[in-house]
Amino acid sequence: MDQRLLDKVHQLPPMPQVVQSLIASFGEADVNTDDITRKLASDQVLTAKVLRMANSVHYGAQRKIASVNDAVVLLGFDALRTLVLASGLTSTLTAPEGFDIKQFWRNSFDMAAVCKWLASFTALNRETAFTCGMMHNIGGLIIHIIAPEEAEDLDTIGTADPWLFTELGSALAERWHFPGSICHAIRHQLAPGQAAIQEPLAYLLFLANYIEATYCSSPEAVAQNMPELALAKLHISQDALMAKLVELESAKGRFDALLS
C-alpha cells in the first residue's frame, strides 16, 4: 500500500474511550460489563444513540429500554457491544462534503445484516459477523477522508482498486485494535482462499459480498453461481441457505436510528 496513505490512516482520530474498551473486550474471557456500562453511561450522546437503536423494532425488546443496564439485561452484552461500535463508527468518521455518508452506512449495515444472517448457519458469533460486515468497506470511506481529491478522481474515471479499500480498511481496524480475525477478514474478503491463514470470517465476508451483489437481481440469481468453496469452509448447506433466503428482507434496513 502507498505509505503516504497508510500514514494518513494512522492520523485518523481514535475511537471514544468506551468504544475502545468494547473493542478490547472481543479478546477477553471475563468481561467487566459493570465497568463498561458505567463508561458508556457517562457518554450521553453515545448512550442516546444506542438506546434509540435498542428500542427499534430490529431488536424486538418486550419493554422500553431506558438505560444502559436495561440494554445489557434485555439484549445481552454482545448485542450492546455491536450497537456501541456502530454508534462509535458513525460518530467518529465524518466524510467530506459531497459524499453521501448516510447511504454509505445504510449499505454497510445491510451487509452487516447479511453477515449476521449467514453466521446463524455456522458456529461463528453473530455479533462478530455483524461487526465484520459493518467494517467491510470502511476503506472506501477512508479514501474520501484522507485523500478526497484522489477519491474524486477514482470515482470519476471508475478505476477504484477494491484491494486498496480492503488494505485501508484492515489498516484502520488494526489501528483501532480490532481482533486479528476481523482485520484479516477485511483484508482478505475478496480472495480468502489465497490467504496464508484460512479465516472463516473472511469466507463469510466473501459469501456475503456475493449474496448482496446477486440478491438485488433476484433471489433465484443467488443460487446460480454460489461460491462452493466458501460454503464448504463455513459448513453451510446451499439448500438450507436458499430455503431461508427470504429472511434477508426483514434482516436489513433497520439501522437508520444510528444515522440521525
pLDDT in tens, 107-151: 999 999 999 999 999 999 998 999 999 999 999 899 888 887 777
Which three cell numbers, joined as nine digits, stand for 259? Answer: 444515522
The pLDDT, as a whole number, for residue 7 is 83
What's the CATH number where 98 sits?
1.10.3210.10
The pLDDT, as a whole number, for residue 59 is 65
Residue 91 CA to residue 95 CA, distance in Å, equals: 11
The pLDDT, as a whole number, for residue 257 is 65
pTM (two decimals):
0.87
Which three cell numbers, joined as nine digits, stand for 163? Answer: 484491494
Tens-digit pLDDT profile for residues 28-74: 767 788 888 888 888 888 888 888 877 875 666 667 888 888 888 87
Residue 205 CA to residue 130 CA, distance in Å, equals: 10
pLDDT-based confidence at residue 97 (cuts at 50, 70, 90) = confident
Averaged pLDDT for residues 177-185: 93
The pLDDT, as a whole number, for residue 25 is 84
Longest Cα–Cα distance of the chain, Å, equals 51
The pLDDT, as a whole number, for residue 95 is 81
pLDDT of 234 > 90? The answer is: yes
The pLDDT, as a whole number, for residue 16 is 82
- The domain in which residue 54 lies consists of 3-259
The single-letter code of the amino acid at 136 is: H
Residue 249 CA to residue 92 CA, distance in Å, equals: 29
pLDDT of 170 > 90? The answer is: yes
Tens-digit pLDDT profile for residues 71-96: 888 778 888 888 888 888 888 888 88
Q: Considering its fold, how many domains does the chain have in total?
A: 1
Residue 247 CA to residue 205 CA, distance in Å, equals: 18
pLDDT-based confidence at residue 153 (cuts at 50, 70, 90) = low
The pLDDT, as a whole number, for residue 47 is 85
pLDDT-based confidence at residue 239 (cuts at 50, 70, 90) = very high
